[in-house]
Structure 1
Amino acid sequence: MKKLNSRRLTAIVLLFFTAALLVSGCSGGKQASNETPGNAPPAEKHLMIYAGAASQPPLELAAKAFEQKTGVKVDMVFGGSGYVLTQMKLGKKGDLYFPGSSDFMETAKKDGVVYPETEQKIVYLVNSINVQKGNPKNIKSLKDLTQPGIKVAIANPEGVCVGLYAVEIIENAFTPEEKQAFRNNIVNYTESCEKTATAISLKTVDAVIGWSVFQYWDPEKIETVKLKPSEIIRIGYIPIAVSKFTENRELAQQFIDFLQSEDGKTAFKKYQYFMEPAEAVDYIGEDRPVGGEYTLPKEWLK
């Protein structure tokens, strides 16, 4: 019996010894991994941009070029300039604010959510009438948009820059009777520049008051009818500034610098954005103020 107990005791000791080695080996391997952090891939750098959709097609191209050049991932939230500003403020995040006009950048500065000293003007815009390719309704002028049977869309002026500009143009150009006729023809208040242009591409409306660049977003489906010089109140511009919510101001500034470089400008030139105010003036045919703010009349508030 004693011999049998001795064997059992030996087996038990060997079993515990083996288990201890296995635990030690696993523990040692894990420790070695923790002690060599240099072997782990570095955390990916990224930027978050809250952007008005007035810049969407070229900004997507520019962001890809920036990623290829720097390895920095660029995430973008597009929409109406006022709407994405609200998102940025509520979420308290984002590295850059890139609205479609000066109006909403001024709001961002007043709200204290961007660094004013970082603001830069990237490109310039001019309003136009955008119609379906071939202009099947033969729309030749702003007043044609008041004719019965014409389906019109404008962007929601409360949160979208091109809608705000559209209201400014209408209020300046139309008599009260013409304005009412125009408003009777509005079938949609779109939520962004992108959706305003898409309304023409999808043929859900006959015309929109948009930007001249819409034609180059979808040249097979969109055509531009120029406004008279007297109907254009001001030249728009697309500004960008570093958000006060950024955790990497230096990297955000690097992206602004990239947009102002030749590589960055190439993306906007592809879609026929005006790179200087003088180009916009040449397109209009007369000089006009650049930027500024417009207060939306109460009757247009929903």
Structure 2
Amino acid sequence: MRTLRTLAAGLAAVVAFGLAGCGGDKSDTNNVSPGSGTASSASNITGGITVFAAASLTESFTTLGKQFETAHPGVKVTFNFAGSSALATQINEGAPADVFASASPKNLAVVVDAGNSAGQSTTFVKNQLVIAVAKGNPKGIAGLADLTKPDLKVALCAEAVPCGAAAKTAIEAAGVKVTPVTLEQDVKAALSKVKLGEVDAALVYRTDAKASAADVDAVEFPESAKAINDYPIVALKNAKNAAGAQAFIEYVLSADAAKVLTEAGFQAP
């Protein structure tokens, strides 16, 4: 009888310990950091988060948005991708947004100077230009000097757009004069001209050329090192989801996000 009572007591202790252990695991799960891609203590974030982001961030931020939603069940991240100058104008005109990720500090400064940012911005990546050409580089373009040939059609971004400002800096550094047949409002539009065969070359970001590697080749050129763009991100003053905005920015600055951005071709800040 004593043996049976002893066994029963032992089993009860084991069950009690197991239940306590389950409770401890649940608590630990709730304290996992957002960057781990697992539900975290910030999982109390609800509703939608609207992110205005430079067109060159389209592929990377789309991936990060999905990862963030997985880490925060019930949260929906909506993106507005366009040229940074256009996005800054939209924000200052009252367009509803929680976060602004610009391809240039200059365009973000337009929002800050208008009093529409909340707190300090943070540079999270850098980007560099390449010459996008048709697959196989049929025109034999090797550098910026080749873009001056009269038989070549070249697309550039407008100077108000970060990729256009960077292109101007690089071209001036090369000491050449490039006459584009078109000036586009964002880097994706400039790249599409090459993909469609409407131009022979375009100055675009390395990341955009890499994302379209099936359709275009990228020609590196040394002057691009003089026109590297910083990408800052900031929460906005009139954010409808301030907590969500901050959580998304923290995720963009996490190690998990850095891996996605680096694989896309972005450089560390």
Q: How high is the TM-score relative to the length of structure 2? A: 0.78
Find 1:149's aligned residue among 148, 151, 158.
151
Structure 1 position 232, deviation (Å): 3.4
- Please name the residue that 2:71 is paired with: 69
Structure 1 position 65, deviation (Å): 0.8
Residue type matched to 2:83 in 1? G
Structure 1 position 147, deviation (Å): 0.4
Unaligned runs of 5+ in 1: 1-42, 277-302
Structure 1 position 44, deviation (Å): 5.8
CA distance in 2, matches of 1:134, 1:232: 24
Matched, 1:193 2:187: yes
CA distance in 1, matches of 2:192, 2:263: 19
Structure 1 position 116, deviation (Å): 4.0
- Please name the residue that 1:162 is paired with: 163
Matched, 1:89 2:92: yes
Residue type matched to 1:262 in 2? A
Find 2:249's aligned residue among 251, 256, 276.
256
Find 2:262's aligned residue among 255, 258, 269.
269
> Is the partner of 2:142 in helix, strand or coil?
coil
Q: How high is the TM-score relative to the length of structure 1? A: 0.70
**Contact 1:113–1:244 at 8 Å: present in 2 too?**
yes
CA distance in 2, matches of 1:101, 1:203: 29
Residue type matched to 1:172 in 2? A
CA distance in 2, matches of 1:223, 1:273: 17
- Please name the residue that 2:109 is paired with: 106
Matched, 1:48 2:50: yes
Structure 1 position 92, deviation (Å): 4.2
CA distance in 1, matches of 2:250, 2:214: 33
Structure 1 position 215, deviation (Å): 2.3
Residue type matched to 1:258 in 2? Y
Percent identical among aligned pairs is 26
Kindly report which structure 2 residues correspond to 1:15-30, keeping only aligned pairs within 5 A, or say none.
none
CA distance in 2, matches of 1:82, 1:275: 23
**Contact 2:133–2:218 at 8 Å: present in 1 too?**
yes
Q: Deviations over 1:30-79 (max 9, x none)?
A: xxxxxxxxxxxxx9600111111021110111011111111210111111
Structure 1 position 173, deviation (Å): 2.6
CA distance in 2, matches of 1:214, 1:54: 6
**Contact 2:104–2:162 at 8 Å: present in 1 too?**
yes
CA distance in 1, matches of 2:151, 2:142: 15
Q: Deviations over 1:97-142 (max 9, x none)?
A: 111122211222222211242x111111112212112111000010
CA distance in 2, matches of 1:171, 1:111: 31
Largest Rg, 1 or 2 = 1
Q: Deviations over 1:130-159 (max 9, x none)?
A: 21121110000101000011010011112x
Residue type matched to 2:94 in 1? G
Unaligned runs of 5+ in 2: 1-44
**Contact 2:157–2:163 at 8 Å: present in 1 too?**
yes
Identify the range of structure 1 (141-150 vs 198-207) with the bigger mean alpha-carbon deviation: 198-207
- Please name the residue that 1:238 is paired with: 231
- Please name the residue that 1:284 is paired with: none
Matched, 1:218 2:212: yes
The alpha-carbon distance between structure 1 residues 67 and 85, as it changes in their structure 2 partners (threshold 3 A), is same
- Please name the residue that 1:10 is paired with: none
Residue type matched to 1:271 in 2? A
Q: Deviations over 1:214-244 (max 9, x none)?
A: 2211111121111125x63242121100011
**Contact 2:154–2:201 at 8 Å: present in 1 too?**
yes
The alpha-carbon distance between structure 1 residues 232 and 269, as it changes in their structure 2 partners (threshold 3 A), is closer
- Please name the residue that 1:227 is paired with: 221
